[in-house]
Amino acid sequence: MKRDFVELDDLSPEEGWKVIDWALGIKRGSFEEFMKKRVVGLYFRKPSTRTRVSFEVGVAKLGGTCIFLQEGSLQASRGEELRDTARTLSEYLDLIVVRAEHQFVKEMARWAKVPIINALTEMTHPCQVLGDVLTLCELFGKDLKGVKVAYLGDGNNVCNTLLIGAGMFGFDLSVASPKGYEPSEEYLSRALRLSKSSGARIEVINDPKKAIEGANVIYTDVWFSMNHSKDENRRRDLEPFRVSEALIENRNVKIMHCLPANKGEEIEEKVFEEHADEIFLQAKNRMFAQMGLLKLLLAK
Ligand code: CP
């Protein structure tokens, strides 16, 4: 039976750790070309730098090929039904990576006969968090118990997925968002369920200073995601959650950002540049985590 990766917790925690272990091994140079003669479709309805390029390069390094599917050049742009597009693409491709609206990705998974990987929806970004967990393991070692991540800002798709990541992989997560910008309650309750086994301590609060107390990592993301228009009220509400020198004081803390960044908004440029090593390690690790994921979904 085919396996889809629409949500991070479509993997069991054991499978999640397997992906991380494989990613670490692949990064050290131990991998087979298990994608040889396999072709992956990249169906992106929204812009992407990291996700697109890391899949294209990762698949090539594993011996496979990617085809980038521009919707404007597909019959989908002329109204061909999604279920027909999904069934047609399944006849040629071995796996499809989809960046689109959440419902679109779920429908694609429902109708495609080959595995679907979610490459970001407005609800969740599971590939990102697999890469982030790989980064945490490299920074702090594989036992993430007691490692505290503070996420500051908009409770968006990345934040929803970090909640699941904490629940699955056992790191502590304190989310601080303004009132009305908190992450999804559904993702929070799934994370809390998972945390019963992993021991992760998870909270969602509204005070950024409290969230960063004892944190090993401060994580942030843009205030205006692809589904938001620029709005001054939103900017004003999120201002106190900016990752700034004044907020961090002299804490010995790592900074993470999934990118792209809007420096001066969610993070000060000076803080970003001082922590560029961590931030671009995160970007680098997207590729290795996805290579591990492909192994789980496709390797015989
Ligand atoms: N973080 C991330 O998904 O980046 P892209 O939007 O560039 O793919």
Q: Is any atom of ligand 1 closer than 6 Å to the C-beta of 96?
A: no
Q: Is any atom of ligand 1 closer than 6 Å to the C-beta of 128?
A: yes
CA distances for 25 relative to 29, 36, 282, 291, 293, angstroms: 6, 19, 17, 10, 13
- Tell me which residue of 34, 73, 66, 31 sits closest to 52, measured CA to CA: 66
Domain with CATH 3.40.50.1370 in the chain: 8-124+286-298, 128-283
Interstrand relation of 148-152 and 217-220 (parallel, antiparallel or unpaired): parallel
Establish how many alpha carbons lie within 13 A of residue 95's alpha carbon, considering only the half-sphere containing its beta carbon. Answer: 30
Q: Is any atom of ligand 1 closer than 6 Å to the C-beta of 287?
A: no
Q: Is the dihedral of CA 156, 45, 118, 266 positive or negative?
A: negative
Catalytic residues: 99, 125, 128, 221, 258, 286
pLDDT tens, position by position, 255-294: 999 999 999 999 999 999 999 999 999 999 999 999 999 9
CA dist., res. 133 & res. 300, Å (int): 25
Mean pLDDT in consecutive groups of 10 residues from the start of the chain, 300 residues: 97 98 96 95 97 98 97 96 98 98 98 98 98 98 98 98 98 98 98 98 98 98 85 95 96 97 98 98 98 92
Q: What is the largest CA-CA distance in the chain?
A: 56
Which of 157, 279, 286, when mutated, tests ligand 1's pocket best, judged by the most ligand atoms within 8 Å of its CB?
A: 286
CA dist., res. 42 & res. 160, Å (int): 24
Residue 89, pLDDT score: 98
Ligand 1: nearest atom to the Cα of 46: 6
pLDDT tens, position by position, 202-231: 999 999 999 999 999 999 999 998 777 788
- Cis-peptide into 260, omega within 30 deg: yes
DSSP letter, residue 267: B
| Topology classification of domain 128-283 | Rossmann fold (3.40.50)
If residue 65 lies in a helix (H) or strand (E), which one and from where to where?
strand 65-69
Torsion of CA 16, 21, 25, 26, to 10 degrees: 10
User: Which three-class secondary structure state does DSSP give residue 180?
Assistant: coil
- Tell me which residue of 219, 177, 173, 160 sits closest to 199, measured CA to CA: 173
Domain 8-124+286-298 has CATH 3.40.50.2000: no
CA dist., res. 179 & res. 55, Å (int): 36
Inter-residue contact 20 to 133 (CB < 8 Å): yes
Please name the residues in contact with 116: beta carbons below 8 A apart, sequence gap of 6 or more. Answer: 4, 5, 6, 95, 96, 97, 98, 105, 108, 109
CA dist., res. 176 & res. 154, Å (int): 8
Residue 250, pLDDT score: 87
